[in-house]
Amino acid sequence: MSSNQKIYEGKAKILYTTDDPEILLTYFKDDATAFNAQKKGTITGKGKINCTISSYIFKLLEAQSIPTHFIDCPASDKMRVQRVTILPIEVIVRNIAAGSLCRQTGLTEGTILKFPLVEYCYKNDSLQDPLLTRDRLLLLELATPEQLEQIRTFAVKINDILINFFNQCQITLVDFKIEFGLDKHKNLILADEISPDSCRLWDQSQTDPNQRVMDKDRFRRDLGNVETAYQQVLERILAHKG
């Protein structure tokens, strides 16, 4: 990997080319942002923690027939991934009401949803990632109807796998955001990351609504102990023996 060129720097990660045009190197930063980057900060050690957690989860999902972009981790904060064309859709799956769902519907935080709610937002920072309807998504040609169907099927399956996995870590999976891309054969592949930056995770041993938070809401809501919470998630995952 002599010729790593930076091709994109996002809010949490930097993408580099490698000698293989089909492979990218992702560097996970300690930078944290919230509210469409209006709030900025640093979470010490986050890059390594999120890269390690994401890698673990991608391997877990691969083992259950979900295609992911994960290849390997040459360092604890670096992941080699298969290059894909990202669909500009943030796919959100919710099991318990929190965040924007509560703000937009009036549901009380913590309400257990009757079924997993799959939602789509337009991944577009200048428009502030608005919620999409199915027809808007198709109108904008962000995905074909067939791709959308497959995205939904994958999202529900990923949710089932992750609910079960986090439960074994005494963590409740409240909701999460995932991104998909297309490889050169137009196959749909799970990309980006799955980490405490992109999931809401509640500690099952805590009932206090602030104490239980183990994810980026600690940063968003200035709850303190952000690093400790992320580290706890990692430790429970690594202690998990299936």
The residues of the shown chain that bind ligand ADP, judged by CB under 6 A, are: 8, 10-13, 15, 24, 69, 81-84, 86, 179, 181, 191-192
Please report how close the Cβ of residue 58 comes to ligand ADP at its closest, in angstroms. 11
Nearer to ligand ADP, 10 or 99 (CB): 10
Please report how close the Cβ of residue 103 comes to ligand ADP at its closest, in angstroms. 21
State the Cα–Cα distance between residues 50 and 27, nearest whole angstrom: 10
**Crossing angle of helices 46-62/226-239, nearest 10°?**
30
DSSP state of 213: B
Whole-number Cα distances in Å, 172 to 22, 95, 103, 175, 202: 36, 9, 21, 9, 5
Spatial neighbors of 117 by CB under 8 A, at least 6 apart, are 92, 93, 94, 101
Please report how close the Cβ of residue 223 comes to ligand ADP at its closest, in angstroms. 22
Nearer to ligand ADP, 18 or 172 (CB): 18
Nearer to ligand ADP, 192 or 217 (CB): 192
Whole-number Cα distances in Å, 102 to 40, 106, 122, 123, 125: 23, 5, 19, 20, 21
Please report how close the Cβ of residue 166 comes to ligand ADP at its closest, in angstroms. 21
